[in-house]
Amino acid sequence: MASSPGGIPSPQPSRANGNINLGPSANPNACPTDFDFLKVIGKGNYGKVLLAKRKSDGTFYAVKVLQKKSILKNKEQSHIMAERNVLLKNVQHPFLVGLRYSFQTPEKLYFVLDYVNGGELFFHLQREHRFLEPRARFYAAEVASAIGYLHSLNIIYRDLKPENILLDCQGHVVLTDFGLCKEGVEPEETTSTFCGTPEYLAPEVLRKEPYDRAVDWWCLGAVVYEMLHGLPPFYSRDVAQMYENILHQPLQIPGGRTVAACDLLKGLLHKDQRQRLGSKADFLEIKNHIFFSPINWDDLYHKRLTPPFNPNVAGPADLKHFDPEFTQEAVSRSIGCTPDTVASSSGASSAFLGFSYAQEDNDILDC
């Protein structure tokens, strides 16, 4: 799931009267048979992500295919529509995956996304165990830039973890998977839904208290800690014990880290969300922290900084950074069928009104 092979940001949407014009809301002509589905490159709760090549021009995309029946069974359609809405806004930021278009059949939903093949941060972290501080700083800065942008749109991300951070073929970050995003949260407002990934849950979420955008800075702290030390900060195989650690155990930082890194981790992983780094001035506090003093943020945003790691991919068909558990799985024939051979489940046709979206085609550069 991801950004174009060359990491090219999607085009800026036009603005009219101060509002973003996201283009037409429907793409009535798109269908699964427009694509050759080549490989499985990821999995989720409600479907799969596949490498697909559009037949008309040979362009590669990551296509996220979701089963309506499973979504409706778990009453998750609002999350899917929220993901679509957030994806439409991502065209403005270089470190967020872009949605090219979306369409649906009676049984399935299709997100046609920018494709990146530099691998998940999780994949590289598993292989290398931990990163040196300059590399962790680079990734953390690009992620923080993306999170800061979402916050500027009053969106809380809520699911930051290494599995949701991809690298493009040049080694830049591409944040993906927006299913748990919460829209419309003003700076002083809170929300209360219990959601996220256990290892990265903030204490206020575990306590089922109202929480604000500071939960994302906690998650950034957990990811930075994991990049530097190999495991999340309060990790335990026993989930109940891990929750207890998050709530009550003091943060323990192994030796060998700079004073700046330790101070950043203590600030981001403060158990009191009101005292957490980023709780007052949001992204500005993160940018101004001494740990990021080597970063020129304007150069970072415009990708003028050389990434510390080059994935060295040969082209869009190079899948060496994807888990073989996915890529060796056979692609189901039903993925590319239209119409679906199984009768539509009751309510599926009306539950996702407005899901389809199309923007004008733009050239995507391959590596």
- Of 60, 286, 49, give the one whose Cα is nearest residue 177: 49
Residue 344 has pLDDT above 70, yes or no: no
Residues 126 and 273 in one domain: yes
According to the model, what pLDDT value does residue 92 have? 75
Q: Catalytic: which of 34, 159, 212, 216?
A: 159
pLDDT interval class at 316 (50, 70, 90)? confident
Residues 201 and 280 in one domain: yes
Tokens of 350: 């009306």
Residue 24 has pLDDT above 90, yes or no: no
CB 203 within 8 A of CB 247: yes
Tokens of 327: 């890529």
Residues 197 and 246 in one domain: yes
73 assigned ligand-binding residue: yes
Residues 166 and 203 in one domain: yes
Residues 144 and 98 in one domain: no
Which of 276, 301, 326 terminates a domain? The answer is 301
pLDDT interval class at 144 (50, 70, 90)? very high
Q: What's the CA gap between 183 and 181, in Å, rounded?
A: 6
Instruction: Kindly report, residue by residue over 161-198, the tens digit of the pLDDT.
Output: 999 999 999 999 999 989 899 999 999 899 999 999 99
DSSP line for 221-235: HHHHHHHHHSS-TT-
Tokens of 281: 């001035």
Residue 365 falls within a domain, yes or no? no
According to the model, what pLDDT value does residue 179 have? 86
Helices (H), 173-327: 203-206, 214-229, 239-248, 259-268, 283-287, 297-301, 324-327
Instruction: Kindly report, residue by residue over 72-128, the tens digit of the pLDDT.
Output: 998 888 888 888 888 888 667 999 998 988 999 889 999 999 999 999 999 999 999
Residue 306 falls within a domain, yes or no? no
Instruction: Kindly report, residue by residue over 39-68, the tens digit of the pLDDT.
Output: 999 887 788 999 999 999 999 999 999 999
User: What is the torsion angle, in degrees rounded to the nearest 10, for the CA atoms of residue 125, residue 131, residue 134 and residue 136?
Assistant: 40
CA angle at 35 for the pair 29 and 36, rounded to the nearest 5°: 165
CB 249 within 8 A of CB 234: yes
Residues 74 and 127 in one domain: no
Residues 248 and 105 in one domain: no
Share of residues in the chain with pLDDT > 70 (%): 84
- If one counts the domains in the chain, the total is 2
90 exposed, middle or buried (CB, 10 Å; 0-12, 13-18, 19+)? buried
Q: What's the CA gap between 246 and 125, in Å, rounded?
A: 22
According to the model, what pLDDT value does residue 359 have? 61
Instruction: Kindly report, residue by residue over 357-366, the tens digit of the pLDDT.
Output: 666 544 333 3
Residue 160 falls within a domain, yes or no? yes
363 is catalytic: no
Q: Residue 318: which CATH number?
A: 3.30.200.20
CB 134 within 8 A of CB 293: no
Q: Residue 148: which CATH number?
A: 1.10.510.10
- For the entire predicted model, the pTM comes to 0.85
Domain interval for residue 48: 14-117+314-358
